[in-house]
Chain A
Amino acid sequence: MARILLKGISKTFKDETVIQDLNLEIKDGSFTVLVGPSGCGKSTTLRMVAGLEKQSGGEIWIDDTCVNDTPPGMRDVAMVFQNYALYPTMTVRGNIEFGLKNRGVPRNERDKLVKDISEIVGLAPFLDKKPQSLSGGQRQRVALARAMVKKPKVFILDEPLSNLDAKLRNQMRTELIQLHKRLGTTFVYVTHDQVEAMSMGDEIVVMNKGAIQQADSPMKLYQDPANLFTAQFIGTPAMNIIDMQGMKGLNIRSDRPVGFIGFRPEQGLLNPDRPVEGLVLKGDILTRESLGAENIYQIRSDAGTFFVKTFLRPLEPADAVTVAVPHDQLYYFGPDGGRIYGAGMQERALIAGGAIV
C-alpha cells in the first residue's frame, strides 16, 4: 500500500514537451484512473512512476521516499502492459515466478505463492503451458498474476483490457474491481475509455495535452466539471455546449464574461408539461435512438445541434419540440473553457431564432 506524490513533473522527448508541471496525489489504497484522449501523456506519466522513463524535471514520491533515482525493479511497483509482455519462451509458471526468483525467494515459498495466485486468477490448469497457447483473456490473467505475485505497493495497469473483446472486457473489469477490494493495494489504471474510468475508478484524473484537467471522484467529475474539457469528456452523450458567440440577448448575470453554456443531455426536459424556470430551446428532432429504457434525441436548434436523453418515457413522435433546462442544471464557462461559478440567468429565457421572447 502506498501513496504516490508527483511534484512538478515534466517530461520532454528531444525538444517536444509532453508533460509540463504535473502535480498529483494518488491516495493510498485508491483505484485511480488516468483518462484522456490518445497521446495526452497517460502512459508517459505511469512509466515515470514505474521508473521506465526518467522525468525531465520534478520529483516522484512513493510513501515517504523520493524514488527519482530508484531503478524500476526496486520501486515496489508492478505493471501490467497493454500487450501483456509475457516472456514467450517461459511457461506460465516461469512467467509468474521470474520476479520472485530474481528477488531470491526460496523455492518452496515460491511454489506456494505461485499456487495461491494462480488459483485466484484461475490459471491453475495452465501453469505448464506456454503463453502462445493461451487465449487473450488467459494471457491477461498471467500478466495480472505476474504483477500480483510480487505483492507490490503500487499496481500500474496501462490499458490492460483494450485487447479483449467487449464481453471479456466487462468480465475482467468486474474482476479487477474485486481484486482491488481484496488486495487493498493502490491501483493506477490508464484508459482512454471514459465509461471504463467511471465504472472502475474511485478517483479519476482527466488529462489533456500533458496537463491534468481535473482529479476527482467520478460523481464529482460528472456533476461538477472544472472546465469545458472535463465537461465534454465525461458522460455519454457528452455535455451539450452552446457557444455564446452570436447568441445575443441572453441576459446572463456574471462577474466574468461567459463563453459557453452547457447542460447534460439527461437534464433537458423534452416538451415539459409545466413551465420551467430556465433555458428553453426550440428545435427539430433530427434522429431518435431508442435503447429501451432510455431514448436519445438529436435536436437541431438555432443555438446549434444538441442531444437530449429521456428515461422511461415513450418515444417522442413530433418533429418540432421544446426543450427546457432548469436554471440549476446549467453550467457556465469562460471563453478559455474555465468553469464560472455563481453565474445565472435573470429570468425565464427562451431562445428561438436566436432571440429572446
Chain B
Amino acid sequence: MKAANRAIEGPIRAAAGTPMNGIRSKRALLRTIMNVVLRLANAAGLLLLVLIFALPFVWMLSTSLKTLPETMIFPPEWIPRNPVWKNYVDAWNTGPFLHYMTNSVIIAVSILLLQMLTIIPASYAFARYKFAGSGFLFSIVMVTLMIPSQLIFLPVYLELSAFKLLNTHLGLILPFASSAFGIFLLRQAFRQISDELIEAARLDQAAEWKIIVRIMVPMVKPVLVTFALFSFIAHWNDYFWPLVMTTNETARTLPIGIAKIREVEGVGTWNILMAGNLILVAPILVVFFLSQRQIIKAFVYNGVK
C-alpha cells in the first residue's frame, strides 16, 4: 500500500516542483555540500578519537618488537626494522611467568564466578522483593561502593592475616566475592523488567527459581556480560591488592611479575617491559572480542514492549 501511495505522490510532486526548479536545485546542491562537509568532519573527529585511544597500544606493540637502541631513537620509528620476537621470550623468562599466569587466571575467574553467585540473588532480591530493612540494606551496599580500597586494605590485611590467608589464592579472592557495583547495576536491570512478565510466568506454573533462572537472568544477560568483563579486567590488571596481600611468589599474579621485569632487566629496558605488558593485556583482548556483541547490546537493550 505504501508503495502505491508513493507512486501516486511522485508525479504530483514533480509537477509542483517545476516552476521553482532553479531555486530548488540550488538549495539541494547546498544541502548536499553541507552534508558531505558534516560527514567528513564527523569522520575526522572519530579518526582523532581512534588515534588518541589506539596510539599507546600501537606504541606498546611497536616498542615491544624493537631492540633497546631502537627504543631511544628520536624521532621515534613506528615500525621496527627487524622485529625482535625474542623480547617476549626474555620477558617471559624474567620470572615464573607460567606460575603468575595460572594464578591470575585462577583468581580472576574465581572472583568472577563467586560474584555471579552472590550478585544475582542479591540484586534480584533488592529489585523484586519487599522485605523488612531492604532499603537500609541496599544503602549499606551503596555506601561500600563509595569507600576506596586504599582505605580498607589495612583492616582487611589484618583480618586475612588473622585467618592465615595471606599469600594464598583465597586471600586474593574472598575480599571480592561480591560487588556492590554489580549489585547496583543488575538491580537496575531487574527493575526494568515488567511485572506482567513475572505474572505470566506464575500463571505458567513456574516456580520462583525457575522464573529467575529461565526468564529474568537471560533478560539481563547483556548487563551481566558487561559487568563480567569489567570485573575480569579490573582483577586481571589489579596491581595494588596482590602486591599488598602477598609477601612471596605463591599467589602473586601477572601484573606483579610484569612490574618485576624492571628489577630483573634494569630500568631502561622498555622493549622487554612492553612485551611483558602485551602478555598481560592479550587475554583481555581475547575476552573482549568474544563478548563484544553482547556488550554493545547491553547499551542499546530495551526488551520487548
Contacts and interface: CB of A to CB of B under 8 A. Distances in A.
B91 to A, nearest CB: 44
Given A83-B194, A89-B219, A102-B210, A74 B305 contact: no
B263 interface: no
A99 B199 CA distance: 12
Interface string B198-212: 011111111100100
B96 interface: no
B199 A73 contact: no
B196 interface: yes
Contact of A72 (B203, B221, B303): B203
A81 B304 contact: no
Contacts of A139: 304
Interface string A115-152: 00000000000000001100000010000001000100
A50 B200 CA distance: 10
A50 B194 contact: no
Interface string B274-305: 00000000000000000000000000000111
Which of B203, B218, B219, B221 lies at the interface centre, i.e. has the most chain A CB atoms within 10 A of its CB?
A: B203
Contacts of A132: 304
A150 B204 CA distance: 8
A87 B217 CA distance: 12
A51 B214 CA distance: 22
A52 B205 contact: no
B204 A99 contact: yes
A86 B304 contact: yes
Contact of A102 (B199, B204, B303): B204
A146 to B, nearest CB: 8
B44 to A, nearest CB: 36
A52 B202 CA distance: 8
A73 B196 contact: no
B197 interface: yes
Contacts of A79: 199-200, 203
B215 interface: yes
Contacts of A353: none
Contacts of B202: 51-52, 71-73
Q: Contact size class for A?
A: 20 to 34
A161 B200 CA distance: 17
B200 A81 contact: yes
Interface centre among B199, B206, B210, by most chain A C-beta atoms within 10 angstroms, is B199
Contacts of B203: 50, 52, 72-73, 77-79, 99
Q: Which of A83, A89, A150 has the most CB of B within 10 A?
A: A89
B196 A85 contact: yes
Contacts of A50: 199, 203
A98 interface: yes
Nearest to A80: B200
A103 interface: yes
Contacts of A102: 204-207, 210
A272 interface: no
A17 to B, nearest CB: 21
A86 B205 CA distance: 15
A318 to B, nearest CB: 40
A88 B205 contact: no
Contacts of A81: 196, 199-200
A73 B205 contact: yes
Nearest to A81: B196
Contacts of B219: 88-89
Interface string B68-86: 0000000000000000000
B196 A98 contact: no
Given A74-B205, A87-B215, 12 more contacts: A52-B199, A71-B202, A72-B199, A84-B304, A87-B201, A88-B304, A98-B201, A99-B206, A102-B205, A131-B304, A139-B304, A146-B204
Interface of A: 50-52, 71-74, 77-79, 81, 83-90, 98-99, 102-103, 131-132, 139, 146, 150
21 contacts: A50-B199, A51-B202, A72-B202, A73-B203, A73-B204, A83-B196, A85-B194, A86-B200, A87-B197, A88-B219, A88-B303, A88-B304, A98-B201, A98-B206, A98-B214, A99-B204, A99-B206, A102-B204, A102-B205, A102-B210, A132-B304
